[in-house]
Amino acid sequence: MASSSSSSSTAGGGGGSGQVVAERRGIPGAQFVEDVQTYLTQLGLDVNSTLSFLQERLQQYKLVEMKLLAQQRDLQAKIPDIEKCLDVVATLQAKKGTGEALTADFEVSEGIYSRARIEETDSVCLWLGANVMLEYSLEEATDLLQKNLDNAKASLEVLVADLQFLRDQVTITQVTIARVYNWDVHQRRVRQVGAVPAQD
């Protein structure tokens, strides 16, 4: 009997009436069903319980998907921010050689701007979050920001792969629901056809 292993890598297990992809980072894999009859006997449930079990699974997948989508939105907002910071540091670094100050207009409040003169400097302060700001040299700042950017992009990739895996499991579950329902209808028809000649 095929059972799902709880390793966190995707592994294919065969045998029984289905194939199983083990859970991936906390998302349980959906069991693919070769034959509906064998699947139902293997679960030991009747059709309605199976359908409600599958529906429940679907809802759980939906919840996880919402969570992952929110995380993806956050990351996609963070990445342009980091790129903008890198831009600024690069501009400051470029200005360093020339000896002239950088004049800039910055926002004091909504719709109100003020002019600033930024002299040549060797260091910048970076906001690290949690009310913490640290001073870095221009090179260190560039390195730190670049590292953050790379981490963010890598997390985004992993997240996208997770979402794809999740959507696959959702598809498999939906198809299984359809097949179980179809099978049940088919069975009822067969039983009806069997019952009618007995009535003659």
Partner 1 sequence: MMLKCVPSKFFASELNVVIITIMKHLIFLVESNDVFFSRIKMRSGGSETEVTWEDQQNINKFGRLNNRFHELEDEIKIAKETNENFEDASNELILTDEEVVRFQIGEVFAHVPKDEVENRIEEMKEVTSQKLEKLEEEKESVLAQMSELKKILYGKFKDSINLEED
Of 5 and 181, nearer to partner 1 (C-beta) is: 181
Binding segment for partner 1 (CB under 8 A), chosen from 3-11, 129-137, 138-146, 161-169, is 161-169
Strands (DSSP E) found in the chain = 12-13, 18-21, 32-33, 102-109, 112-118, 123-129, 132-137
> Tokens 């207009």 identify what position?
105
Site residues for partner 1, 12-31, by CB under 8 A, read 19
Strands (DSSP E) found in 2-154 = 12-13, 18-21, 32-33, 102-109, 112-118, 123-129, 132-137
Of 43 and 51, nearer to partner 1 (C-beta) is: 51
Is 76 one of the binding residues for partner 1 (CB under 8 A)?
yes
Residue 141, classified by CB atoms within 10 Å of its CB into exposed (0-12), middle (13-18) or buried (19+), is buried
Is 146 one of the binding residues for partner 1 (CB under 8 A)?
no
Positions in the binding site for partner 1 (CB under 8 A):
19, 32, 34-35, 55, 58, 62, 65, 69, 73, 76-77, 80, 84-85, 87-88, 91, 102-107, 113, 116, 164, 167-168, 170-172, 174-175, 177-179, 181-183, 185-186
